[in-house]
């Protein structure tokens, strides 16, 4: 059976997450329903990461085995037609080998978190960013974030229901950039690792926001990490500012 890889963009707001749900809408369910319109029967697609409810993606990667050897462009066009009006789009499609697996072949995942600090309510980016009202010290947040880079036990920064076998992960990068807005600031957190624990990104960003607001000192982040205790974590930020923005493979399937 021919195997196809898809790069998928979606607004996570209307969905209960990536993973198929019995009753609630999911991104996986939407794509599989579109596939059924093209090839009747059961379809199961595997993704690089199972994003939570409300989390967005600009470059999720998934794969599926089909019966027909589709032209990739025609396949993506047909899927996008049947996905309407759901806020989901196939932005790239490629024929891949049987040894390609969207999850297990991945070598890194990249996330973006968008945080806006301003007094007035967010209008155009409503549901796409986390808004706080206090100004943020970006230099202090960078100092705190530096203590999380490398191989660590991230027990403090993972959800209690996390199903990963080990809390030990290598965090390769946290880059924090600032964009001046007419009425405030937008702070963007770029995180890169081979894999992440459940709620790890949101736990880290929520903790760093406390540093930026002056409630935590930068060195408190290192103390929280060393505690290996979920209770030592800062508040977990909401999902709407989080985007899965890239998945790396030994060879780019869409090159």
Dihedral angle of Cα 162, 240, 93, 99, to the nearest 10 degrees: -10
Residue in the block written with tokens 């009202």: 133
**What does the block give as tokens for 29?**
């369910």
Residue 192 near residue 204 (C-beta atoms within 8 A): no
What burial class does residue 96 get, using C-beta atoms within 10 Å of its C-beta: 0-12 exposed, 13-18 middle, 19+ buried?
buried
Can you tell me which residue has the tokens 């505690």? 227
186: alpha, beta or left? (left if phi > 0; alpha if psi -120 to 50)? beta
Report helix, strand or coil for 133. coil
DSSP letters of 16-42?
S-SS--SSS--HHHHHHHHHHHHS-S-
The residue annotated as part of the active site, out of 52, 65, 98, 125, is 52
The answer to the question of whether 111 is labelled as a binding residue is yes
Question: What is 114-129 written as a DSSP string?
Answer: EEEEESSPP-TTTTTS
Q: Compute the distance between CA of residue 22 and CA of residue 15 in angstroms, rounded to an integer.
A: 13
**Dist CA 28 CA 41 (whole Å):** 15
* Active-site annotation holds for 252: no
Q: What residues are designated binding site?
A: 111
Residue numbers annotated as active site: 52
Q: What residues are designated binding site for substrate?
A: 111
């Amino acid at each position: 059976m021919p195997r196809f890889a898809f790069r998928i963009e979606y607004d996570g707001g209307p969905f209960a997450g990536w993973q198929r749900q019995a009753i609630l809408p999911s991104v996986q369910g939407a794509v599989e329903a579109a596939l059924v319109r093209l090839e009747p029967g059961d379809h199961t697609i595997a993704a690089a990461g199972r994003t939570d409810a409300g989390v967005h993606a600009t470059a999720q990667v998934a794969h599926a085995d089909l019966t027909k050897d589709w032209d990739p462009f025609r396949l993506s066009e047909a899927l996008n037609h049947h996905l309407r009006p759901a806020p989901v789009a196939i932005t790239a499609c490629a024929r891949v080998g049987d040894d390609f697996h969207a999850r297990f072949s991945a070598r890194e995942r990249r996330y973006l978190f968008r945080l806006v600090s301003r007094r007035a309510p967010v209008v155009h980016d409503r549901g796409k960013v986390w808004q706080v009202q206090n100004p943020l010290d970006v230099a202090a947040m960078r100092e705190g974030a530096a203590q999380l880079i490398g191989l660590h036990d991230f027990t403090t920064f993972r959800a209690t229901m996390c199903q990963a076998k080990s809390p030990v992960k290598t965090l390769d990068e946290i880059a924090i950039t600032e964009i001046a807005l007419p009425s405030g600031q937008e702070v963007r957190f770029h995180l890169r690792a081979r894999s992440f624990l459940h709620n790890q990104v949101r736990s880290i960003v929520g903790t760093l926001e406390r540093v930026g607001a002056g409630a935590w000192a930068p060195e408190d982040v290192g103390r929280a990490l060393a505690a290996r205790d979920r209770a030592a974590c800062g508040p977990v930020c909401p999902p709407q500012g989080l985007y899965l923005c890239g998945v790396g493979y030994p060879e780019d399937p869409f090159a």
